[in-house]
Structure 1
Amino acid sequence: MDIYNYYFNKYKFPFIIAVSCVFFEAMCDLLQPTIMARIIDEGVKSSRVDIVIRLGLLMLMITAFGACFAAARNILSSKVSQNFGVDLRCDVFSKIIHFSEVSTDKIESGSLITRLTNDTSQVIQFINGLMRIFFKAPVTCLGSIILAVILSPKLSFIMFFVVVIVSAFIIISMKMSYIRFAKVQYAIDKVNTVVQEYLLGIRLVKAFGRYEEEEEKFDGANADLSDKSASSQLVIAYFSPVMSLTVSLGIASILYTGSVLFSNSEIEVGKVAAFINYMTQIMASLIMITNIFNIFVRTKASTERINEVLNSEEDFKGVKQTIKYDFEGLSFNDVTFAYPNGSGMPAINNLTFKVDRGETLAIIGPTGSGKTTLTWLCLRFYDVEKGAICFNNNDIKMLDCNTLRDNIALAPQKSMLFTGTVFENIAWGNPNASKEEIIKAALAAQADEFIQRMPNRYESILGRGGVNLSGGQKQRISIARALVKKSPVLILDDCTSALDAVTEAKVRLGLKTADTEKTIIMITQRIGTAMSADKILVLDNGVKVGFGSHNELLDSCDTYRGIFESQIGGNLNGDIYE
């Protein structure tokens, strides 16, 4: 996506008006040295006060017109650039919301924040400058060269020599700057990532007393940003004085050559003064062009980073097909999947099973066996490499992601709550839910009891991430949020790990009581939780090693029996030890 072509078409009319104002403003500036030359040569030299007054008033009028054009382009450039920024940030954020998991894994969150803030600000600054001064500099430079040549072709040779040298400096500095400014943006990414990681793990840092290590990590990233910023600025620091010196030497040469030509009666004083003014305008324009190119190389780096976001892969789009709420079943048919950019080893390998309407399926297995991966595949965060996942006998690749996810509610392993009231956090699962439905979901999730003890009950404010709740309380609100969605399939991804056995049993009972037709998939590490399910799927390194009821697996699955004996204890007949 070319963001400039896209937004230019949207703001073409005010952009053209602003550029036109810049052009006319430049024309007003270019006329003044010529008028000044006439005042000197026709009025002052011949002592004609009337000519001085007439041409002086003309110069004032042209200056007033130039000021009006300048005010108009300033207003237009400010409005257009800010509206451009609003649209760009909205589009980038909208793209991030629709990121596929592959895109999310590819670009770090700290980098995304930088691209949404710092990089977009750089582009906005460029657009503003483009409409205010970027067009004026080349127009003024070219116009000054043309008018200077008309005034004195002989002096123009010096001017051309200076322009060529300064142009060479501009090209060299631009090439040297681009790589350095790109590195600056990535250094900002690193600083943001370090700060974000610390804020997310602030309690862990305090618990382990790792303040010094975190400070060293930040100091390293901060020093790297400082070094790269200094390196990028050194290019400007070196080349700007050299270019100014070159132009100043050019002006000195023009003064000397002009004095010689004047003594030989080959040029008038007013024309020499006008030529110097044009040379000064050329110098100012060239310096401005240098700054333009410096801003351009920064913006080019930022634009590429923004385009990387805008061109990233979105959630998979299938045929928009409506799934009936009358859910019949979810099945995995010889599914194999390996994470993109991972080790290449399958996280799920040749997996086949089916869960029917109203059943409770427990998924259990050692750490890293692919339990959570199975959840991501059900929600189509990733596409399978082999086989098919079917929802109501429809391959989910043929279904629109939003349609699929509307029919699946998730209570994730890590409970994520948002700043707002308890009511708002539960209703986040279904914004149209009534208060009665919210309370019913909270009762089923065993959350109503502690909510009623809070100062404002369901209107109590939760801090960011639910910092004012315990782990078990956050999990129960997360379960209530999933319940209020009223989806036919509910996935509980080890979301009761912070609950005691009694409370967890109450939650399981509440879930079934709330909706007997709901299909529940429980990912768990607890054998006691798995025993209550209708079916149990046992995974080991992504491979199905057991599928059936508790008693069936005790007889047929060594992995399940090992988990059972390690947590509860028992013999081969399933008798529970004290």
Structure 2
Amino acid sequence: MNIYRKYFKKYRVMFLTAVSCVFFEAICDLLQPAIMSRIIDNGIKNSRVDSVLKLGLLMLIITLCGAGFAATRNILASKVSQRFGADLRYDVFSKIMKFSEESVDKIESGSLITRMTNDTSQIMQFVNGMMRIFFKAPLTCMGSIILAVILSPFMSIVLFCAIAIIAILIVISMKMSYSRFAKVQTAIDRLNTTVQEYLLGIRLVKAFGRFSDEEEKFSAVNTDLFQKSVSSQLVVSYFSPLMSLTISTGIALIIYLGSILFGKGYIEVGKVAAFINYMMQILTSLIMITNIFNTFIRTKASTQRVVEVLESQEDFSGFDNEEVISESSLEFKNVTFAYPDGSGLPALKNLSFRVNEGETLAIIGPTGSGKSTVAWLCLRFYDVPEGSIYINDKDIRELATNYIRNNIALAPQKSMLFTGTVFDNIVWGMQEENSEKMLNAAKQAQADEFVQKMSNGYDSLLGQNGVNLSGGQKQRLSIARALAKDSPIMILDDCTSALDAVTEAKVRRALRDTEAKKTIIMITQRIGTAMTADKILVMDNGINAGFGSHKELLSTCKTYREIYDSQIGGDL
């Protein structure tokens, strides 16, 4: 439980103060039955009003002190637990931001959301309860047992029998609960993932009229969560009445034995009353302890899930070199790569190519040939087990990821825009916001024209992922964002698929005419786009099927000629 030690050390003073308040509150609660016993035996029995008033006033003062301690520990518990939760959520989010691609692939986004919300809330409630009742219940229980034994060792036999039975019930309850609560959290993951998938694909669902299928899918995971939640709660439902029955039976036996002992003059009425009060305090404490164990079991499952995130593999690190270089070359040398936890088949096989500073390289090939994998490896989302990748003749494994990614701008295959203004989305990747650079990038990406027609121009608000834009508009803003970053290497991963041929040609021409000569990698399916590049890499099933100019490949590469014939056709 390192995460608990870490945060408790941070709030050590408030935590210890709250625990001290719990200790003194428990003492106040334990003193009251003893004082009541003296009121009955010394005051009421002997008709001494002064003794009753004196002891009654003492009991009232102790009660007020206990209330003060309770209020203080409640305030401190709320402050500490809320800060604990806020810090934990921040640390989890910070960790997710540093996730390696393997960690991203391992834990689904729906599960990450559950861990950041449901699981952290469960941990926060546990911390709050620990400072409020988790310490008080054992203290009150142990204190009541000790004082009850002092009052009557004989009647304590019944007490110990009841406690033994309850201890057995608690152990059985814990063993039955843990696996059930862990399954509940997994079911919540599946529910969140299902809802998230529907929301992301809502337009596709509407287009294909698959509402009934989505409803059935949600109904299945919702029913599964319902059944697992009921199963986990049934354990509590079965065992809580058994514990109450055990304690109530014990109290009935205490009253019976007390009446016999009182009749024989072995015990006074006040002590019997005090013993019953201690028995009730033990009952309350044991019920609390049972709830504590149930909460602990559920929190243990949540803690393990959060710890799994915090201990996940982070992105690669290296030397602290974050500067942007003025020129760049890119080279793959004998690179073989298969995705971790994937099919095991290599996505790239012994791939080699080089693009020099200022050159444009087009990568073309059939679907699934490994084109996008090249982009992910350039950005060092994964490390290659075989071969090497060089930026400016430096092995990227010797470079910090900040350095690599500051020198590469990416316009991805799937345009991703964020909630905010058009301006915010274009300058999102810039080190420092620059309105002139932003406007120039928008013009180069052919986005300025439609943005100016929007209600508030560059201050117009975009919905989540740009839902109020067309596919082509989103792609142009994505390209503008990559251009605004002004990195020496630029990767366009099939990001012009929604653009018409004229607009795409304008974008390519604008890229060629930029003052700073960039090294550009265009991943494309269009032969017309590839033809304009200085070099073309033809990929087929992860291998280099051809590398050269358009004319060279037409005569030397069968795969390239097939692509050319299928899209343009004709004999040369």
**Residue 461 (structure 1) shift:** 1.4
Please list, as runs of the form range in 1=range in 2, the aligned pairs for 1:277-292 lying within 5 A after superposition: 277-292=277-292
Aligned residue for 1:339?
A: 339
Instruction: Tell me the SS of whatever aligns to 2:466.
Output: coil
Structure 1 distance, partners of 2:145, 2:40, is 21
Map Cα deviations across residues 443-495 of structure 1 (whole Å, 9 max, x no partner): 11111111111121111111111111111111011000000001000000000
**Residue 2 (structure 1) shift:** 2.0
**Residue 327 (structure 1) shift:** 2.0
Aligned residue for 2:559?
A: 559
Contact map agreement 2:328 2:488 (CA 8 A) in 1: no
- Larger deviation: 431-440 or 126-135? 431-440
Instruction: Tell me the SS of whatever aligns to 1:342.
Output: coil
Instruction: Tell me the SS of whatever aligns to 1:244.
Output: helix
Please list, as runs of the form range in 1=range in 2, the aligned pairs for 1:421-432 lying within 5 A after superposition: 421-430=421-430, 432=432
4+ residue runs of structure 1 moved beyond 6 angstroms? none
Structure 1 distance, partners of 2:547, 2:570, is 20
Aligned residue for 1:200?
A: 200
**Residue 82 (structure 1) shift:** 0.2
Aligned residue for 1:466?
A: 466
Contact map agreement 1:433 1:484 (CA 8 A) in 2: no
Q: TM-score, normalised by structure 2?
A: 0.99
**Residue 323 (structure 1) shift:** 5.6
Q: How many residues align?
A: 572
Map Cα deviations across residues 411-465 of structure 1 (whole Å, 9 max, x no partner): 0000011111111110112162321111100111111111111121111111111
Instruction: Tell me the SS of whatever aligns to 1:369.
Output: coil
**Residue 570 (structure 1) shift:** 2.9
Please list, as runs of the form range in 1=range in 2, the aligned pairs for 1:524-563 lying within 5 A after superposition: 524-563=524-563
**Residue 322 (structure 1) shift:** 5.1
Contact map agreement 2:81 2:124 (CA 8 A) in 1: yes
Instruction: Tell me the SS of whatever aligns to 1:492.
Output: strand
The one-letter code matched in structure 2 to 1:301 is A
Q: Share of identical aligned residues, percent?
A: 69
Please list, as runs of the form range in 1=range in 2, the aligned pairs for 1:563-578 lying within 5 A after superposition: 563-571=563-571, 575=572
Structure 2 distance, partners of 1:426, 1:324, is 19
1:379 aligns with 2:372: no
Structure 1 distance, partners of 2:410, 2:93, is 23
Structure 2 distance, partners of 1:261, 1:71, is 40
Instruction: Tell me the SS of whatever aligns to 2:226.
Output: helix
Aligned residue for 2:329?
A: 329
Structure 1 distance, partners of 2:435, 2:328, is 30
The one-letter code matched in structure 2 to 1:499 is L
Structure 2 distance, partners of 1:523, 1:2, is 46
Runs of 5+ consecutive residues of structure 1 not aligned to the other structure: none
**Residue 320 (structure 1) shift:** 2.4
Aligned residue for 1:487?
A: 487
Structure 2 distance, partners of 1:443, 1:138, is 70
Please list, as runs of the form range in 1=range in 2, the aligned pairs for 1:339-358 lying within 5 A after superposition: 339-358=339-358
Map Cα deviations across residues 25-61 of structure 1 (whole Å, 9 max, x no partner): 0000000000000011111111111111111000001
Please list, as runs of the form range in 1=range in 2, the aligned pairs for 1:113-152 lying within 5 A after superposition: 113-152=113-152
Q: TM-score, normalised by structure 1?
A: 0.98
Contact map agreement 2:409 2:487 (CA 8 A) in 1: yes
Map Cα deviations across residues 379-427 of structure 1 (whole Å, 9 max, x no partner): 0001101011111111111111111100000000000111111111101
Aligned residue for 1:92?
A: 92
Map Cα deviations across residues 514-549 of structure 1 (whole Å, 9 max, x no partner): 245111000000000000000000111110010010
Aligned residue for 2:3?
A: 3
Please list, as runs of the form range in 1=range in 2, the aligned pairs for 1:25-104 lying within 5 A after superposition: 25-104=25-104
Instruction: Tell me the SS of whatever aligns to 1:358.
Output: coil
Aligned residue for 2:253?
A: 253
- Larger deviation: 363-372 or 425-434? 425-434
The one-letter code matched in structure 2 to 1:380 is R
Instruction: Tell me the SS of whatever aligns to 1:465.
Output: helix
Structure 1 distance, partners of 2:341, 2:53, is 77
**Residue 324 (structure 1) shift:** 5.4
Structure 1 distance, partners of 2:304, 2:556, is 57
- Larger deviation: 336-345 or 513-522? 513-522
Structure 1 distance, partners of 2:218, 2:282, is 45
1:510 aligns with 2:510: yes
Contact map agreement 1:323 1:404 (CA 8 A) in 2: no
Structure 2 distance, partners of 1:337, 1:75, is 56
Instruction: Tell me the SS of whatever aligns to 2:520.
Output: strand
Structure 1 distance, partners of 2:17, 2:453, is 63
Instruction: Tell me the SS of whatever aligns to 1:428.
Output: helix
1:212 aligns with 2:212: yes
CA RMSD between the two structures: 1.0
Instruction: Tell me the SS of whatever aligns to 2:430.
Output: coil
Structure 2 distance, partners of 1:159, 1:111, is 46
Alpha-carbon distance change, 99 to 354 in structure 1, aligned in 2, over 3 angstroms: same
Structure 1 distance, partners of 2:148, 2:483, is 78
Aligned residue for 1:395?
A: 395
Contact map agreement 2:426 2:438 (CA 8 A) in 1: yes
- Larger deviation: 331-340 or 423-432? 423-432
Instruction: Tell me the SS of whatever aligns to 1:327.
Output: coil
Structure 1 distance, partners of 2:442, 2:233, is 58
Aligned residue for 2:179?
A: 179
Contact map agreement 2:324 2:403 (CA 8 A) in 1: no
